[in-house]
Structure 1
Amino acid sequence: MARTKRGVTSHARHKKIVDMAKGYVGRASTNYRIAIEKVEKGLQYAYRDRRAKKRDFRGLWIQRINAGVREHGLTYSQFINGVKKAGIEVDRKVLSDLAIHEPAAFAALVKQAQDALKKA
């Protein structure tokens, strides 16, 4: 049988890991053994935080809505209840954006929510 040399494939595999470790501090960016540990850990963080980001943004949107609604004399939970009763199907991301950039439109939504709460 012919002799198999694997220098090309192992070099490519090492290069891929070291390229992914670009920007890491010290030997973590140059040494393959250390870089592979750091890259694997970084990928774990990336996987976890792609999901955590969704939670974080939802919390931020809720805080922004709450701040905007309190200027009109309601709490967040009362406002969301009123929005649901009024049949307004706007998600929290859009409500948050309206509260910041379009205060007049947001005030109109708050008014609709208040009217729906009074009727119920």
Structure 2
Amino acid sequence: MVFLTISNLIRVRGPDEFWRKRRIFRLAAHFVGRRRNCYSVAVRNVHRALVYATKARKLKKQDMKDLWNTRISAACEQHNITAFTLKEGLDRSNIMLDRKSLSDLASWEPRTFECLAAIAKQKLQLDGFIDTVDKKYPTGVNLNLKDVMLEAWLKEKK
């Protein structure tokens, strides 16, 4: 490209502007109206969308944590044991399961969760642990290890 005057050279901003605008327009491709086509409007809306996306990543993690806690506490309530007592008993038994794993077991493997609750209760009884929430020994209804052993469950299935 040959420029006869310096004023024409100044007006051309080169390829950098094209690619800068292209990046914004690609991020705004799913918007409607001027938010998609007009650069100055698109820039504002893309920046706002990116801020919301950043905040939403943290909120999604918190939502999943709340869901897992709800599932665990509901399953613990069925077995008459608090979530804190369950976690304490599993920690003392060296069963290291995180919230997500316990939540999945509570939802999809209720027998396995029942066994874990029985193990936690048994370990806390052996240690003489008193729950700080209830101020009493954990009381699980029909949560003896003999009742929920794998062999009894396998016999029941056949």
Between 25-34 and 85-94, report the one with greater CA deviation.
Answer: 25-34
Number of residue pairs matched by the alignment: 119
Q: 2:49 aligns with which of 12, 22, 42?
A: 42
* Runs of 5+ consecutive residues of structure 1 not aligned to the other structure: none
* Matching residue within 5, 11, 16 for 1:9: 16
The CA deviation string for residues 70-120 of structure 1, in whole angstroms up to 9 with x for no partner, is 111112122112222222101110110111111111111111111112112
User: Unaligned regions of 5+ residues in structure 2, if any?
Assistant: 1-5, 128-158
Determine which structure has greater relative contact order: mean sequence separation of CA pairs < 8 Å that are 6+ residues apart, divided by chain length.
1
User: Hey, what's the Cα distance between the residues in 2 that align with 1:49 and 1:99?
Assistant: 27
TM-score, with length taken from structure 1: 0.87
Whether 2:97 is the aligned partner of 1:113: answer: no
Identity of aligned residues (%): 34
Q: TM-score, normalised by structure 2?
A: 0.68
Alignment partner, residue 21 of structure 1: 28
1:25, 1:65 → 2: CA distance?
A: 43
Which of 47, 51, 58 is the aligned partner of 1:51?
58
Point out the structure with the larger helix share.
1
Out of 64, 83, 91, the residue aligned to residue 76 of structure 1 is: 83
Cα distance in structure 2, aligned partners of 1:118 and 1:26: 67
- Decide which moves more: 90-99 or 25-34: 25-34
Larger Cα-atom Rg: 2
Deviates further, 61-70 or 26-35: 26-35
For 2:37 and 2:78, the matched residues in 1 are separated by 54
